[in-house]
Structure 1
Amino acid sequence: MIHKHAFEALDRSLKDVLKGVNRDSSRHPFGGKLLFLGVILLMRQILPVIQNGSRSDIVNASLCSSHLWSNCKVLRLTKNMRLTVGCNPSDFEESSRFANWLLEVGEGTLGGDNDGNSVIEIPDDLLIGDSSDPISELIDFVYPTLLDNFNDISYFQERDILAPLNEVVQDINDIFLTFFPGEEVEYLSSDSIDNSDTVGPGFDQALHSPDFLNGLKLSGMPNHKLVLKVGVLVMLQRNID
């Protein structure tokens, strides 16, 4: 996402700095110093953000549109080294197929020729089949033999379910909790309104009733009701940003 002007400024700065060491440095890009840039960022670059910019403005701000690009040599990685670490041959073959499918999606070659829009067919092994309870089926797939391994920390470190919304996370947690034996215990947050925060006589308490406040599910804020069971793993997360 770096603007091409940043690379061009670095090019001029290195030429000026190295001029005292080598007079010919101004004739070479980056003063003759070798600069290594991430290949993935170059070939699948996230475009710079240009405020109120058109499509041409955004593309023109990328590194590929700079005069320095003609001096760049593209080196391609042909083997995915991450897939080979600690994998048996069967797992490696399955991971390779999935990795290649992701690359085809990223390159826009999946689904035939397209101009930004295309219909992509999701492989069957990535889909939940016809089921009356898809969330339970997803939990069974991600966490097999759950009750036999719920005391093993490494068991939970190797798998996870991602969800787009907090409401979906809550639904998954509610179903997840029913798998464990024992009695549920509910913990509720404070649901009273601090009158010191009211603003003048026009404050309508009905708009900020406890029922309304308790129903809010906000990012970075715990829900009003927390349900726990003895022995159930609790995961605490924090946004580092």
Structure 2
Amino acid sequence: MKHRYCFEALDKSLRDILSFKDSSNSQRPFGGKITIFGGDFRQILPVIPKGSRQDVVNATLNSLYLWSHCQLLQLTKNMRLQGTAIGSALDELRDFSDWILAVGDGRIGSSVDGIEKVPIPKDLLISECIDPISSIVESTYPDFISRCNDIGYLQKRAILAPTLDMVESINQYMISLNQNLEKSYLSSDNICGSDQTYSALEH
């Protein structure tokens, strides 16, 4: 997910540093050091402000000039399925995991007029609703008004949204449901010096 320039800078720095020990290291990727990248290509691409599709693709790791030297290893075991879930809960988790992988691999879905469409299982859909925001809030946070002070209840749930505008709309709706008194928290981006810091400067 990092811009390829990060890896190019590391590569050139290691070549320069390690060439003092062995001049041939200047010709080796990362100065001859084995480098491991960890990540998931199904996750978000590098963010290029106001960039085109070409700009985003050009910033990805597999556009790196060293990509031909990389060996791609794929994880095959879903560790979330090794948890404490049993019976129907485990089967449900496994089915969802398999569906997510199939979507990521492009084995599910079709292209219609250049637009990729993926069928969503019915158990993941909210089929009948008048107000989409209130429906998804009620589905994700049932009995929110009576349980909004329960930290555990809140920590186990989250709503993901595709745009910041949608996030703002959902946040405003949920704030309107909260009947507790408002609190304002102030933040500062300055470092407060301790007494020891001032005494050290005086000496």
Counterpart mapping for 1:106-121 below 5 A: 106-113=104-111, 117-121=115-119
- Structure 2 distance, partners of 1:67, 1:145, is 51
The CA deviation string for residues 86-117 of structure 1, in whole angstroms up to 9 with x for no partner, is: 32243232123223333344444432246851
Structure 2 CA distance, aligned partners of 1:81 and 1:70?
Answer: 30
> SS of the counterpart of 2:117?
coil
Q: Distance in 1 between matches of 2:73 and 2:183?
A: 41
Label 1:132 to 1:33 Cα distance change in 2 as closer, same or farther (>3 A): closer
Taking a change above 3 Å as real, the CA distance of residues 39 and 115 of structure 1, as seen in their structure-2 partners, is farther
Q: Give the Cα separation in 2 of the matches to 1:155 and 1:45.
A: 28
Equivalents in 2 of 1:82, 1:235: separation in Å? Answer: 37
Aligned to 1:118, what secondary structure does the other structure show? strand
Which amino acid counterpart does residue 138 of structure 2 have in structure 1? I
Of stretches 130-139 and 105-114 in structure 1, the one that deviates more from structure 2 is: 130-139
Q: How many residues align?
A: 184
Q: What's the TM-score, normalizing by structure 2?
A: 0.64
1-structure distance, mates of 2:33, 2:49: 29
Q: Distance in 1 between matches of 2:102 and 2:76?
A: 15
Residue 20 of structure 1: aligned partner:
20
Partner of 2:29: 29
Matches within 5 A, 1:24-103: 24-41=24-41, 44=43, 46-47=45-46, 49=48, 54-103=52-101
Q: Identify unmatched segments of 5+ residues in structure 2.
A: 190-203
Q: Which structure: larger Rg?
A: 1
Report the equivalent of 1:8. 8
Aligned to 2:115, what secondary structure does the other structure show?
A: coil
| Closer/same/farther in 2, CA of residues 22 and 80 from structure 1, 3 Å limit | same
Quick one: structure 1 residues 18 and 157, their matched pair in 2 at CA, closer, same or farther if it must change by over 3 Å? Answer: same
Opposite residue 153 of structure 2, the aligned amino acid is: Y
- Relative to structure 2, which stretch is displaced further, 93-102 or 163-172? 163-172
C-alpha offsets along residues 49-80 of structure 1, whole Å, 9 cap, x if unaligned?
A: 276x5544442333212220010010101112
* In structure 2, C-alpha distance between the alignment counterparts of 1:29 and 1:11, rounded to whole Å: 6
Give the superposition deviation at 1:25: 1.8
CA 1:18/1:131 → structure 2, altered by over 3 Å: closer, same or farther?
A: closer
> Which AA in structure 2 matches 1:158?
K
- TM-score w.r.t. length of structure 1: 0.56
1:34 partner letter:
I
Q: Percent identity between the aligned chains?
A: 38
Query: Which stretches in structure 1 are left out of the alignment for 5+ residues?
Result: 178-226
